[in-house]
Amino acid sequence: MPDPVAPRRRATTPDPVPRSGLVPPAVRGPEPAPATASAQLREPVLSARDIRVDFGGVRAVDAVSVDVYRGEVVGVIGPNGSGKTTLLNAITGVVPASGELYVGGVPVRLGSPERARRAGLVRMFQTPQPVRALTCVENVLLATSDTRHRGLLAAWLLRPLMARVEQERLAGAQAALDRVGLGDRAELSAGVLTYGEQRLLDIARGIAAVPRVLMLDEPSAGLNSRETDALLLLLRAVAADGVGLLVVDHKIDFIDALCDRITVLETGRVVAEGVPAAVWRDRRVMDAYLGVAHDG
Ligand code: ADP
Ligand code: MG
């Protein structure tokens, strides 16, 4: 299939805006500067273009574009009600939206969680909701269950294959728990986990689903500073495996340390984007979001 993004990209003069500088949305080309040299050689693994979501008369997300490269962590910040969660909902097909979505350069039609999932987009919600009566490993297995419907005969014929697939799923679930540091809790009921551990279990579920892009909504919420630091290392490690991360969060220190690039939303619009240091210097971000006083 021809890549719809590539021709546009080749036609663009490479990187007219200084890499370290803030990239104002109005003058920005379709491809913002990726964070690492290796990322520049590739297409974004996620490219959401001109996303709009209307709720009745309210435009909750207004022409937002965001790219995430393989192995990159992109943060989305903004005041309450600025459309961060709705943007993730739009990209993952949970709410009706207009715009364009490409995963690995291939167009994915908006509006279906199933399609988004099949394309490799995995979404973690604001509050972890493990099935408390199931064990941790069972909770992870739920996230990787194969929901394709097979006839009885096919299921019977496929038994030997399915047994192996099940073994691999179990090994994958255990590996995901090991990855987040819950390996020794695999057989414990999820109900006994602390809130911070439930958050990690949620991330294990995300990892086990083998995402191309993992989207997290307020992952540091409810975590103490030690847990937040551990989460930061974990998410960087997940990105280092080649997953693209799109992370909404309120904790500025966390976002600053975690993200390669940041997009700032205000009433549904992108008001700033770029590398963290540049975003923090932006006057609109200081005024509207950080509430930092400045003179002149
Ligand atoms: P954030 O995550 O940045 O706090 P949201 O994306 O949750 O913001 O909300 C953005 C705007 O859209 C808010 O004005 C909110 O009230 C509105 N909104 C969000 N979800 C819905 C919905 N399902 N129906 C109607 N309005 C909604
Ligand atoms: Mg939200």
Q: Which residue would you say has higher pLDDT here, 44 or 155?
A: 44
Give the pLDDT confidence score for residue 37 in this predicted structure.
53
> How many whole angstroms separate alpha carbon 83 and alpha carbon 73?
19
Q: How far apart are the first and last CA of the chain?
A: 53
Residue 20 has pLDDT above 80, yes or no: no
Kindly list the distances between the CA atom of residue 170 and the CA atoms of 35, 175, 247, in Å, as whole numbers in the listed order.
35, 9, 28
Ligand 1 interacting residues, C-beta cut-off 6 A: 55, 58, 60, 78, 80-86
- Would you state the structure tokens that stand for residue 103, as one six-digit string? 């995963």
Q: What is the mean pLDDT of residues 192-200?
A: 94
Residue 18 has pLDDT above 70, yes or no: no
Give the pLDDT confidence score for residue 29 in this predicted structure.
38
Residue 258 has pLDDT above 50, yes or no: yes
| Ranges assigned E (strand) in the chain | 46-55, 58-68, 73-77, 98-103, 106-107, 121-124, 213-217, 244-248, 261-266, 269-274
Q: Is the dihedral of CA 107, 113, 119, 125 positive or negative?
A: positive
Q: What is the DSSP string of 181-202?
A: T-GGGTTSBGGGS-HHHHHHHH
Per-residue pLDDT reduced to its tens digit, 165-180: 888 999 999 999 999 9
Give the pLDDT confidence score for residue 219 in this predicted structure.
94
Report the separation in Å between the CA atom of 218 and the middle of ligand 1, taken as the mean of its atom positions: 15
Give the pLDDT confidence score for residue 146 in this predicted structure.
62
Beta bridge partners of 55: 58
Q: What is the mean pLDDT of residues 61-86?
A: 96
pLDDT above 70 coverage of the chain, percent: 81
Report which protein residue has its CA nearest ligand 1's atom 19.
86
Kindly list the distances between the CA atom of residue 208 and the CA atoms of 74, 148, 212, 228, 238, in Å, as whole numbers in the listed order.
21, 18, 12, 21, 11
Q: Which residue would you say has higher pLDDT here, 214 or 145?
A: 214
Residues in the chain: 296
> How many whole angstroms separate alpha carbon 289 and alpha carbon 293?
11
> How many whole angstroms separate alpha carbon 25 and alpha carbon 284?
13
Q: What is the mean pLDDT of residues 87-98?
A: 97
Give the pLDDT confidence score for residue 52 in this predicted structure.
98
- Domain at 34-120+211-296, CATH homologous superfamily: P-loop containing nucleotide triphosphate hydrolases (3.40.50.300)
Report the separation in Å between the CA atom of 274 and the middle of ligand 1, taken as the mean of its atom positions: 24
Ligand nearest the Cα atom of residue 61: 1
> How many whole angstroms separate alpha carbon 287 and alpha carbon 290?
6
- By CB neighbour count within 10 A (0-12 exposed, 13-18 middle, 19+ buried), where does 279 fall? buried
Report the separation in Å between the CA atom of 60 and the middle of ligand 1, taken as the mean of its atom positions: 6
Ligand nearest the Cα atom of residue 126: 2
Report which protein residue has its CA nearest ligand 1's atom 16.
81
- Mutation probe of ligand 1 site: the residue of 55, 76, 267 with most atoms within 8 A of C-beta: 55
Q: What is the mean pLDDT of residues 69-87?
A: 96
Give the pLDDT confidence score for residue 155 in this predicted structure.
72
Confidence of residue 22 (pLDDT cuts 50, 70, 90): very low
In the structure, ligand 2 is a single-atom ion and the residues with CB under 5 Å from it are 84-85
Neighbours of 286 (CB within 10 A): 16
Kindly list the distances between the CA atom of residue 296 and the CA atoms of 40, 283, 289, 290, 293, in Å, as whole numbers in the listed order.
37, 11, 18, 17, 10
Q: What pTM, to 2 d.p., does this model score?
A: 0.82
Confidence of residue 134 (pLDDT cuts 50, 70, 90): very high
Listed by start position, the domains of the chain span: 34-120+211-296, 130-207
Give the pLDDT confidence score for residue 184 in this predicted structure.
97
Mean pLDDT of the chain: 84
> How many whole angstroms separate alpha carbon 111 and alpha carbon 71?
26
Query: Are residues 80 and 126 in contact, defined by beta-carbon separation less than 8 angstroms?
Result: no
- Mutation probe of ligand 1 site: the residue of 77, 82, 86, 270 with most atoms within 8 A of C-beta: 86
Residue 101 has pLDDT above 60, yes or no: yes
Give the pLDDT confidence score for residue 243 in this predicted structure.
97
pLDDT above 90 coverage of the chain, percent: 68
Which ligand 1 atom is nearest residue 79's CA? 3
Per-residue pLDDT reduced to its tens digit, 221-256: 999 999 999 999 999 999 999 999 999 999 999 999
Give the pLDDT confidence score for residue 284 in this predicted structure.
82
> How many whole angstroms separate alpha carbon 250 and alpha carbon 276?
14
Q: Pairing state of beta strands 244-248 and 213-217? A: parallel
